[in-house]
Amino acid sequence: MGLAITAGRQALPALPPCPLDAAARIAHAADARRGTQACVLALRHAGPRRVELRHELLGDAALPMVLVAGGISADRHLAASAAFPQPGWWDAQVGAGRALDPSRHCLLAIDWLGADGTLDAPLDPADQADAIAAVLDALQVDALAAFVGCSYGAMVGLQFAARHPARLQRLLAISGTDRAHPYASAWRALQRRALALGALQCDERDGLALARQLALLSYRTPEEFAARFGAAQVAGGRVRVAAEDYLDHCGDKYAARTPATAFARLSESIDLQSVDPGAIRIPVTVAAVAEDRLVPIGDAYRLVERLRGETRLRVLRSRYGHDAFLKETDAIAALLREVLADGDAGNHGCPGVAP
């Protein structure tokens, strides 16, 4: 299913540059490089703050650059490499012969502002977009060949397209739109209350684990749980439902690696999403999942109708709901190949990282 819309748009005023330290600290390796830039960003709701921006690059810097961004739990490590062999959050899509092939594109990913828990202030998705622009400045990259955003990353991609239109050729927005749906925001508000209750009991870790478990229920679907889990049982004098072990495992694993402040501030950030689709004129492919409970398909239709550039809509079906971008490997790979092939057809080179 596709939809094409062509229209014009007035250019947005340029933002003032982010003052960077003299040089980025880049750890060079055979196939992957990491860097950190310190700068002062003017946060939309908290004023100027000194921050550190962390990124990872995969592939030759002379190739067209593609930024890849996931949900609030994603980070700069997309996939295992010789330099950084730990599993990445999107190993299924990254690698030789895969949709995101470092021999065809230089892949850039960042750690979200606030992900380390040290920035305890309201964070807008627009702040993340400006942070990406600051990273590109440090890398001396004029423009991205493409921005691939999933979930929160799609929200940030829309912000980047609106705020920095000259620095992006095309956008793939998967399971993320121009606003947070009020129903989804209500889910997240309850998650943050669980976190707060845990802190009041001097048990912030268990509060965070419970918040994550509530989040998982919103990411997935009743159909998946019906296929995976059976009936409740009595054990030790209490009733325990079949999904509890799974939820406990996921909650504990998340709480072990995530600062509570990071979860709270990034969760809030999703709810602050607000971007005018009419301010976006670059080619955008919007991908929606019919079973997604957090980003209803109606919001995707609404977004597509208001975007002002060449626009396509792709609708997927998946029992994994909002998490389809992590689970439906083949369908997502086809989307990635489609968008990146369009970019390659019209691309004549993209500046890479300065030596």
Q: Is the pLDDT confidence value at 23 over 80?
A: no
Q: Is the pLDDT confidence value at 270 over 50?
A: yes
**C-alpha distances out from residue 4 to 8, 152, 284, 315, Å:** 14, 24, 10, 14
* Residues known to be catalytic: 151, 292, 322
Q: Is the pLDDT confidence value at 349 over 70?
A: no
pLDDT of residue 17: 44
Q: How many residues comprise the chain?
A: 355
pLDDT band at 31 (very low <50, low <70, confident <90, very high): confident
Phi and psi (nearest 5°) for 119? -105, 95
Q: Where are the alpha helices (DSSP H) in the chain?
A: 125-139, 152-163, 182-200, 204-219, 222-228, 244-257, 260-271, 297-306, 324-327, 329-346
Using DSSP's 3-state secondary structure scheme, residue 290 falls into coil
pLDDT of residue 8: 31
Q: How far apart are CA 54 and CA 131, in angstroms?
A: 10
What b/e string do you get for 40-50 counting C-beta neighbours within 10 Å, with b at 16 or more? ebebeeeeeee
Q: Show Cβ contacts of residue 283 under 8 Å, excluding neighbours closer than 6 positions.
A: 169, 170, 171, 309, 310, 311, 342
**Parallel, antiparallel, or unpaired: how do β-strands 171-174 and 284-289 relate?**
parallel
What b/e string do you get for 195-211 counting C-beta neighbours within 10 Å, with b at 16 or more? beebeeeeebebbbbbb
Q: Is the pLDDT confidence value at 1 over 80?
A: no
- Which has the closest alpha carbon to 294: 318, 323, 325? 323
Largest pairwise CA distance in the chain:
68
Q: Is the pLDDT confidence value at 5 over 80?
A: no
Q: How far apart are CA 219 and CA 138, in angstroms?
A: 35
Report how far apart the first and last C-alpha atoms of the chain are (Å, whole number): 43
pLDDT of residue 347: 58
Using DSSP's 3-state secondary structure scheme, residue 43 falls into strand
pLDDT of residue 29: 37
Q: Is the pLDDT confidence value at 73 over 60?
A: yes
**C-alpha distances out from residue 221 to 96, 125, 294, 312, Å:** 32, 26, 11, 26
Structure tokens at 98: 């895969």
pLDDT of residue 98: 96
Q: Is the pLDDT confidence value at 97 over 90?
A: yes
What is the DSSP track for 234-276? EETTEEE-TTHHHHHHHHHHHHHHS-HHHHHHHHHHHHT-B--
For the segment 136-156, the average pLDDT, to the nearest whole number, is 98
Structure tokens at 276: 């005018």
Delineate the domains of the chain, giving CATH numbers in brackets: 25-180+272-346 (3.40.50.1820), 184-270 (1.10.1740.110)
Using DSSP's 3-state secondary structure scheme, residue 116 falls into coil
